[in-house]
Structure 1
Amino acid sequence: MSHSEPATEQSHRLPLTRPTKGSDAARAWLIGLLAGVLGLSPWWITGARLPLQNLWATQVWPDHMPLALLPLSQYELTTIVALLTVGGAAAGLSIRIWSPARRRLVTWCGVGGVFTVQLVATIQSFSVLHQGLAPGSMSSLYFGGLLAGVIGSMVAALVALVLISSRSTVKATIGCGLMAVPLTSWAVEWVVGVMGYINVPTAVPSIARWVPAILAGCALAWCGFLPARRLVAWVLNLAFLWVIPALFTSVQYVLGTRVSAGDLPEMLLMSRQILAATLGPDGGALPTLLLAVVIGLLGVGVRAVVSRRRSRQGVDSTGLAADS
C-alpha cells in the first residue's frame, strides 16, 4: 500500500497532454468529411439515380438512369444549393461547438474535408452527365450552366462554414440567417427521401414556409442588440429572409419551364419579372419577416429577464454570505 499510494498521487499530478496540430487537423478534416456526407445524404437515400434529362442521348426509364452523387438537373438547382451549403454549415457549427485553440487551422481543415466530399461528388456526377448527353450546343450550354451552379453552391458552402465557425457572434448569426432557407429545403428533401413524393403530408409545404423565419428569429434572439454593431446581423438576416426565398422561387420557376428553354434573354426577362413580383408587397414575405422579428424580440426579452434574476440571486447570496 505504501508503494502504490505515491504512484497514484503522482499520476494525478501529471499534466493533461494538449492536442497537437496534427490531431486537431485530422479531427477537423474528419468533421468536414462527415458534414459533407450529411449534406448530401437526403439525395443518396433516394437511390441517387440521375434525374431524367431532356437532352439525354437515348430513351431511358428513370430506374435505369446511372448513379450520380449529385442530382444534376435544371429542375433540381435549388436542391443542389441546399445539399452543398448544409454540408458547409454543419461543419462550421461543429467547429464552433468544439471551439478549438487553433481556430484558423481547424477551420481550413474542415473546409478541406467538406470539399473532398463535394469535389468527388461533382467529378463523378458530371462525368456521368457528360457521357449521357446528346452532342450539341444546347448540351454544352446545359452542362456549363449546371457546373456554374454547383461551383457557386460550393462557394456558398465555404462562406457558411467560415461565418458559422467564427468566434464572432455577429458573423455566426449572419451565417445562420444565410442558411435558414437552404436548411429548410434540405429538411424537406429528407422528408421526401424517406416518405416519397406521393406520401408527403400536405402540411409539409405550409410548415416549411414558416421554418426559415423561426430559425432566423432564434438566431437573432441569441445574438441580441448589444453592442450596437449586432444590429447589422438583424438587418442582414431579415434581408436574407426576404430575398433568398424570392431567388429560390424565381430560379425554380424559370428553370422548371420548357417554354423558354435555351432562350437566355427570355429567361432573364422572366426571372426579373418573377423576382420583382416575389419581392413586392404581394409576394408574401411580410408575415415571415414579422414572425422573425417577434421571435427575436421575445428571445432578447427573455434573456434579459433571466440575466437580471441571476444577477439578483448572485447579489442576495453574496449578502447572505457576508452576514453569516
Structure 2
Amino acid sequence: MSVSGARGIVTAVAVALAAAVLGGLPWLLTGARLPLQNLWASETPPAQMPHTMLPFSQYSLVFQASIIIVGAGLAGLSVRLLARVLDRHAPLAGVAGAMLAVLYIAAIIQTGLTVASGLQRDLPGWRGVLGDEDARPLSGASQLYLAGLIGVAIVVVLFALAVYVVVARARVPAAAVALSIVAVLLGPWVRELVQATAVIEPTRPAAWLDPITWVPPIGVGLAICWCGVRGVRRIVAAAVCLAVLWLVPALLETVSAVAGSRALVHDPRELADYGWGLFRMLLGPAGWSLPLLGAAVVVAVAGAVGARLVRRARPPASP
C-alpha cells in the first residue's frame, strides 16, 4: 500500500471517530445513562440506569436523530475539506463512511441489548429449563417497544449515511441541501448540549428571544450562500433548502409530540389526527416555520453581499 493510501485510511478512521464523538457529545456529557423507561422491569433511579451509546426512548427520538445526523454531517464536511489537500487516490470517503456505519451499527446493537435486558418480561413465575429467570421472553408490549426503537434507529442511521455521502462527494447544490438537513438537526443538538453543560437548569425564553431557535435558519442561510443562485440547479437547490427549513422543524416537533403522547397512544386514529393538526398549525402563521424562512433568506443575502464586498476589496493579482 502506498504512503498516501495508508495516510488516507488513518485520516478517514480518525475523521469518523472524531465526528461520531462530537455528534454524540451532548449525550456523553449527560453521562450517557439510558433515559427512564415506561416498561422497565424494576424501579430504577436515573443515576442507576445502565450506560448506553444511544438515548433509546420514545421521548428522545429527535435527540437521537440529531446526534447521529449531526455526526454524519461533520464527517462528510471534514472529508470534503480534506479531499482538497490529500492525494485524490487516497481512500478517504469510502473508509470514513464504512467506519461511521460500523460505529453506528455497534451503537444500535449495544443499546438494543442493554434495553432488552431490563424491559418487562412475561410469565413472572417461569424459570425455564435451566431455572434462569432472565431467559423469560419479553412481554408483548416490550417486544413492540424495542422493535420500534431499533427500527427508528436503523432508519435514522441509513438516512445519516446518505447525508454523509452527499455532503462528502456530491456536487455543491446537492451538498447544500444535505447540509441544510444537518443545520435543522443542529438546533435540537445545540439545545441538548446547552442543557448538558449548564450548572443549573437553564430557563427557556420565548421562541423569538431564544438564540437556539435561530441556529437552523442561520445554518440553512449559510448553505444557500455557499451554493449560490447562479444557474437553474443552484436556484432549485436554494428553494429545496428553504423547503427543508420550512417542513423539517415542524415535522420533528410533531414527531416528538406524537411519540410522547401517552394519552392517545391507544387510539391510533385520534393520534394521527392530533399529529396532522399540529403539523399543519406549525407550518402556518401560528407556527415558527415562516419566520425561520425569513431569517434564512436574510442570512443568505447578507452572506452573499459580504462575500462580494470581500472579493472587491482584495487587491488585483499581479501580472
1:289-304 correspondence to structure 2 within 5 Å: 289-304=293-308
Q: Secondary structure at the match of 1:314?
A: coil
Q: Is 1:219 aligned to residue 234 of structure 2?
A: no
Q: State the Cα distance separating 1:308 from its structure 2 match.
A: 4.2
Unaligned segments of structure 2, at least 5 residues: 122-138
CA deviations on 1:225-274 (whole Å, 9 max, x unpaired) are: 12331112211110110111101110111111210224433333322221
CA separation of 1:38 and 1:219: change in aligned 2, threshold 3 A: same
Residue matched to 1:117: 103
Q: State the Cα distance separating 1:19 from its structure 2 match.
A: 4.0
Q: Is 1:34 aligned to residue 34 of structure 2?
A: no
Residue matched to 1:64: 48
Q: State the Cα distance separating 1:190 from its structure 2 match.
A: 1.1
TM-score w.r.t. the length of structure 2 is 0.86
CA RMSD of aligned residues (A): 2.2
Is the CA contact 1:95–1:165 (under 8 Å) kept in the aligned structure 2? yes
Is the CA contact 1:93–1:164 (under 8 Å) kept in the aligned structure 2? yes
CA separation of 1:296 and 1:62: change in aligned 2, threshold 3 A: same
Residue matched to 1:15: none
Q: Secondary structure at the match of 2:201?
A: coil
Of the two, which has the highest radius of gyration?
Answer: 1
Q: Secondary structure at the match of 2:55?
A: coil
Alignment counterpart, residue 199 of structure 1, candidates 187, 192, 201: 201
Unaligned segments of structure 1, at least 5 residues: 1-17, 319-324
CA deviations on 1:45-83 (whole Å, 9 max, x unpaired) are: 211111111111112211221111111110000000001
In structure 2, C-alpha distance between the alignment counterparts of 1:78 and 1:140, rounded to whole Å:
22
In structure 2, C-alpha distance between the alignment counterparts of 1:33 and 1:262, rounded to whole Å:
41
Q: Is 1:134 aligned to residue 120 of structure 2?
A: yes
- The more displaced of 23-32 and 213-222 is 23-32
Is the CA contact 2:186–2:215 (under 8 Å) kept in the aligned structure 1? no
CA deviations on 1:7-66 (whole Å, 9 max, x unpaired) are: xxxxxxxxxxx7432331232122112211221121112111111111111122112211
CA deviations on 1:256-294 (whole Å, 9 max, x unpaired) are: 121022443333332222112212232221111011112
In structure 2, C-alpha distance between the alignment counterparts of 1:262 and 1:104, rounded to whole Å:
53
Alignment counterpart, residue 187 of structure 1, candidates 187, 190, 199: 190
Is the CA contact 1:88–1:160 (under 8 Å) kept in the aligned structure 2? yes
Residue matched to 1:51: 35
State how many pairs are aligned: 298
1:282-293 correspondence to structure 2 within 5 Å: 282-293=286-297
Alignment counterpart, residue 82 of structure 1, candidates 60, 66, 89: 66
Alignment counterpart, residue 105 of structure 1, candidates 91, 94, 97: 91
TM-score w.r.t. the length of structure 1 is 0.85
- The more displaced of 96-105 and 225-234 is 96-105
1:239-318 correspondence to structure 2 within 5 Å: 239-310=243-314, 313-314=315-316
Q: Secondary structure at the match of 1:52?
A: coil
